Amino acid sequence: MLSRRDMLSASIAAALAASPLRAAVSFGGKGDGFELAGPGGTIPLFVEPSDFAGVLRAARDLAADVGRVTGTDASFSPTPDQPRMVLIGTLGESPTIDRLAATGKIDVAPIKGKWESYSLQTVRNPMPGIEEALVIIGSDKRGTIYGIYDLSQNIGISPWYWWADVPVIKRDRIRISYGSYFQGEPAVRYRGIFLNNEAPCLSAWTAEKFGGMNADFYTKVFELLLRLRANYLWPAMWNNAFNEDDPKNGPLADEYGIVMGTSHHEPMNRAHKEWTSRRPGNGEWNYVSNRPAVQQFFREGARRSKDRELLVTMGVDRRAKGTPLAG
């Protein structure tokens, strides 16, 4: 019988195997294609500073991933004018990418206006000063990020390289076949994990390694999710409060592009610990007898995260057990 873990692993593996780049990347000394790395070194990357912070972060990961494979990190060019380059950007956020689309140098019709879609295209003479480019285009923030990590995964970096110490095969050359590769919208809009039953194992480990479930820990979680083309997280909640354990947690999730939610009995993006840590001043957790305090608690949670990407739990109906609706 398959366990839930087996089924999750199989579904993730199937999703990654469906990468449009799966057959396009090669490592041999012969063949035709865009050479990302070879005897001449690694190809520089360019990302507009105006693009999303999460895209810039993922591009830095790609540069490091090239180094994990070849021994030399890819460099960044401040301007798009090197003979051979990797150009990375999001439609509507990158003037360079938008110009290439407007002049017909890249085809964005299959992804424009789509959810979390991306394309990688090799282009000859895309703009003055560039003879050849590999262009990574996203329909939105996560689309671009997924395109970046798709390339990383196909050059040999497992999404689990850090968490499971997956070894990286060293290569002297990385080549992408000439062409255009598209990945459309995911069949499931929100895809993620729940850090449930985290005490004592995960909580003890994070305390030892990171000093708690803070931004340093969640940085690793968010990167893994995006490398797996996930986008959603219910954070640890046994004696943990995601937004208060480390005030950097919430903004960091939004920067990465992770949609946050809350589980069980934690409505309006507020952890249960946020209520219990304020006792006895906030009174009983009961919407019938303590409505003003509960409403204020919810309003604070809504204001705190109003500018972030969230799925908000409104409440849990436990009337079948004889308890109040907001219990």
- pLDDT above 90 covers a percentage of the chain that reads 79
Dihedral over Cα of 6, 9, 12, 13: its sign: negative
Report pLDDT for 1.
38
Arithmetic mean of pLDDT, 94-108: 97
- Joined together, the tokens standing for residue 81 give 């004018």
- pLDDT above 70 covers a percentage of the chain that reads 91
Q: Report strand pairing: 174-176 vs 180-183.
A: unpaired
Arithmetic mean of pLDDT, 300-306: 91
Which amino acid type is present at position 185? E
pTM greater than 0.85 (yes/no): yes
Q: Please give the distance of CA 24 from its chain centroid, rounded to a whole number.
A: 23
Cβ-count burial of 121 within 10 angstroms (0-12 exposed, 13-18 middle, 19+ buried)? buried
Q: Which residues partner with 135 through β-bridges?
A: 87, 121
Q: How far apart are CA 182 and CA 7, in angstroms?
A: 26
When pLDDT is cut at 50, 70 and 90, the band that residue 317 belongs to is: low
Q: Is 248 helix (H, G, I), strand (E, B) or coil?
A: coil
When pLDDT is cut at 50, 70 and 90, the band that residue 322 belongs to is: very low
Evaluate if residue 253 carries a pLDDT over 50: yes
Instruction: Quick: pLDDT tens for 221-232.
Output: 999 999 999 999
Report pLDDT for 40.
87
Q: What is each CA distance from 286 to 54, 62, 269, 294, 327, in whole angstroms?
A: 39, 49, 17, 7, 6
The string of DSSP letters for 129-159 reads: TEEEEEEEEESSHHHHHHHHHHHHHHTT--T
Instruction: Quick: pLDDT tens for 236-249.
Output: 998 999 999 999 99
Helices assigned H by DSSP within the chain: 4-17, 53-70, 95-102, 141-154, 201-210, 215-227, 242-245, 249-256, 272-276, 291-304
Reported as half-sphere exposure (CB side, CA atoms, 13 A), residue 125 has a value of 0
When pLDDT is cut at 50, 70 and 90, the band that residue 63 belongs to is: very high
Q: Is 68 helix (H, G, I), strand (E, B) or coil?
A: helix
Q: What is each CA distance from 121 to 55, 67, 179, 272, in whole angstroms?
A: 18, 22, 6, 47
Question: Is the N-terminal amide bond of 110 cis, ω within 30° of 0?
Answer: no
List Cβ neighbours of 92 (8 Å cut-off, separation of 6 or more). 98
Cβ-count burial of 60 within 10 angstroms (0-12 exposed, 13-18 middle, 19+ buried)? middle
Report pLDDT for 323.
40
Q: Please give the distance of CA 65 from its chain centroid, rounded to a whole number.
A: 16
